[in-house]
Structure 1
Amino acid sequence: MSPTLLPAKQMWSAIGSMALCVAMLIASEFMPVSLLTPIAADLNATDGMAGQAISISGLFAVLTSLLIAPIAGRYDRRHVLLAMTVLMLVSLVLIASAANFSLLMVARALLGMAVGGFWALSTATVIQLVPKAMVARALGMIYMGNAVATAFAAPIGAYLGAIVGWRAIFWGLVPLVLLNLVWQLRAMPSMPPKAGIPVSRVFALLKRRHVAFGMTAVMLTFSGMFATFTYLRPFLETRTGVSASQLSLLLLGLGLAGFLGTKLASKLLEKEKLFPMLRWLPLVIAALTLSLVWLGGRLESAAALMIAWGLVFSAIPVCWSAWLAHAMGDDAESGGGLMVAAIQLSIMLGGAVGGLLVDQITIVASFLFGSAMLVLASMVIGPGFRLGRHPAQPETID
């Protein structure tokens, strides 16, 4: 169906259902960050092992994001997106009822498939649903779902998890996903299959020098951030000595700062500051991470640093989305799959290496590793010439 022929009410309802699905996916994927300690204790695992639950979802998100375009090209896009939502639903039921760590990992793998598949198709789906002039607004609604989940999922999970237990938190997400599935069934129009995109076309983008450098920087940046983000709860519990209520407030502060970070990043992008932001934000978050190691023993210092950390953390994905439009605007669907794969692989590696360091050395070692990756990312980016910015051109994303 042509976007211009879709009734406005149904069009925005479909976008709304996608935004809610994104919120549920993000909440489900990163909820273990706020529940890491009780999950580990209940399943007789270490904190580092529990952190691998985030890593395994990243692995399957990588595989799915790379393979979904060729598969989705054979089927109605509506059915593919609904299948991703069903996968999320099944994974939540399995997580909530997991009797052992192995079943938890299987459930997280299914969730990773849903995350990778949905995100890889989201931009192309929006373009198919709405007129070109409204694409930016529609994408903004979807990213708002991301921001809402980032702001509220972790603190609510930490607070309620201490009252009703971590399993009840995941059971609580099940009816919300069911409602989302019903909404999608009613709102999503049929989107007939088109010619599939071969996997070779996705990887062919890496032959472009600026894309190869960009993806390297993406992986260094996100692996560095998630080597820290994944283990914030055990750090705050052991180093800062926070209670459950204090932990939820700190995570809420981090999440709410994300709204401001997203807005500030958008404003700076409008002023054509893309490449300076890509270069300097990783250094800022590395400095904040090291400051947290040094000053995080005091609650007041930890709170201030967490807010600042959340501010920068939320701005970085916005900048890389803008770079995607700048660097691969001629093949956004393939580029989107490649970007999702790179980010999810980075989440997996950051969480996995961080988990090993937490178990074998200390949490501080994981934070130091993350900071080193962020510094390397900034070095790879440099002034931006390697990422496609011509020395003689202004810093524009167009």
Structure 2
Amino acid sequence: MTTEASAPTLADTPTAAWGAVLSMALCVALLIASEFLPVSLLTPMAAGLHATEGQTGQAISISGLFAVVASLLVTTVAGRLNRKTVLVAMTALMLASLVLVAAASNFTILMVGRALLGVCVGGFWALATAVIMRLVPSEAMPRALAILYGGQAIAAAFAAPIGSYLGGMFGWREVFWALTPLVAVNLVWHLTALPSLPARDRQDFGAMLALLRRPYFLRGLTASMLSWGSAFTMFTYLRPFLEGVTGADVGLLSLLLLALGMAGFIGTWAAGRFVGPEIAPLLKTPALIMGGATLGLLLLGRSWLAVGVLLAVWGAMNTGMSVIWMTWMSRNAGDAPEAAGSLMVAAIQTSILLGAVIGGWLLDGLSIQATFAGSIILALAAIALIGDGRRLLKPQ
């Protein structure tokens, strides 16, 4: 009997279902940690691979590119496969990616490893919410989603500062190696805790195209891309700024990144508490606050105390941004949630890709100040497109 045939089913006890939710939350934490570790390890990775910091920043953009492709294709190419099989395969790809990156002897192998991670990121996130809906009854969905995004908040809080600190002590390769046993444990947990999840109706591109033909949805999708693009143009190259402008050593760097990450818990709590029926006025808030914090960094970047406060503000809004825009999506594309989810994941990952590419070009061609200025320009574009937010709402 195969592992999947003997796995628990949806008719089993709630304990089995919550175990599956927890295994997915751990996968989220490991995915976020794996995806953004290069942010805190950018300088030593560039030196170890004999590349520029701008080139090494493309380790994030390449994963974003493949995440875009995977998010759009996973529900069509793998549409008839058992969802448990797909999630297990995605986790196995994450393990393979970490091994390749940790062992990379040159820039090309690093890019291959990061491309595999991108497939995992896009595939997992495109399916995550739909799978959670099948693991727990509808009344338990808020709790289940809170657990899932809790994994994201934990990784955002601790992955960067711990990665920076351990990278300074042992080397950047050892940080990636340290994640591999955790991913292996998560893989086994998926196999034992996830019930069999046979595919339902196959998703096609028609539903996605239909959504893109709705002007309000297309405007919202574009505005969300500009908001995330602004964030990642700055965030991808934060370490060179903190080292070159603020003058942070490894210890201070880790503390500043920890302040940014810990503020994310506050942002998640605040967004869950204050996002109400009126979503329109909140849509420009992420770009406004995060763009303002980036401008503050340009003006006050030599003061580590000011930088710490600004990064905390930025980090709180960074996690709140996901809640705001996903709430917008659920309320304005509720008739096609899977198609909307795939498009949102693709949009976010495209933003990560473009942010890393644009920021890298500006860093290598001009300066770190130019990179941060580019982030501010994207934030202003998002604010201008959103306006009062009403043109991004579904007509009543």
Regarding TM over 0.5, the answer is: yes
Cα deviation code 1:155-206 (max 9, x no counterpart): 0000010000000000000000000001111000101122311123223210
Aligned partner of 1:134 in structure 2 is 140
Unaligned runs of 5+ in 2: 1-6
Alignment partner of 2:224 out of 206, 218, 225 = 218
Task: Kindly indicate whether residue 157 of structure 2 is the aligned counterpart of residue 151 of structure 1.
Answer: yes
Distance 1:3 1:317, change over 3 A: farther
Aligned partner of 1:308 in structure 2 is 313
Aligned partner of 2:4 in structure 1 is none
Distance 1:96 1:4, change over 3 A: closer
Distance 1:199 1:187 in 2: 31
Listed as ranges, the matches of 1:349-388 within 5 Å are 349-388=354-393
Preserved contact between residue 227 and residue 367 of structure 1 (Cα < 8 Å):
yes
Task: Kindly indicate whether residue 212 of structure 2 is the aligned counterpart of residue 206 of structure 1.
Answer: yes
Distance 1:130 1:301 in 2: 44
Aligned partner of 1:346 in structure 2 is 351
Listed as ranges, the matches of 1:25-174 within 5 Å are 25-174=31-180
Distance 1:299 1:387 in 2: 38
* 1:273 CA drift (Å): 4.6
Aligned-residue Cα RMSD (Å) equals 1.4
Cα deviation code 1:99-157 (max 9, x no counterpart): 00111011000000000000000011011111111112111110000000000000000
Task: Kindly indicate whether residue 301 of structure 2 is the aligned counterpart of residue 296 of structure 1.
Answer: yes
Alignment partner of 1:336 out of 338, 341, 350 = 341
Cα deviation code 1:256-280 (max 9, x no counterpart): 00000111111111x4352222123
Matched to 1:76, the amino acid is N
Cα deviation code 1:20-70 (max 9, x no counterpart): 000000000000000000000000111100110000000000000000011
Distance 2:338 2:315 in 1: 29
Preserved contact between residue 274 and residue 319 of structure 1 (Cα < 8 Å):
yes
Aligned partner of 1:186 in structure 2 is 192
Residue correspondences, number: 390
Distance 2:327 2:345 in 1: 14
Distance 1:251 1:165 in 2: 18
Matched to 1:99, the amino acid is S
Distance 1:11 1:179, change over 3 A: same
Distance 1:162 1:176 in 2: 21
Cα deviation code 1:263-298 (max 9, x no counterpart): 1111111x4352222123311111110110110111
Distance 2:250 2:278 in 1: 39
TM-score of the pair, normalised by structure 2: 0.96
Matched to 2:138, the amino acid is K
Matched to 2:67, the amino acid is A
Q: What secondary structure is seen at the aligned counterpart in 2 of 1:190?
A: coil
* 1:375 CA drift (Å): 1.2
Q: What secondary structure is seen at the aligned counterpart in 1 of 2:333?
A: helix
Give the percent of matched residue pairs that are identical in Structure 1 and Structure 2: 50
Matched to 2:390, the amino acid is F
Distance 1:70 1:2 in 2: 26
Distance 1:6 1:331, change over 3 A: farther
Distance 1:28 1:335 in 2: 25
Distance 2:216 2:333 in 1: 10
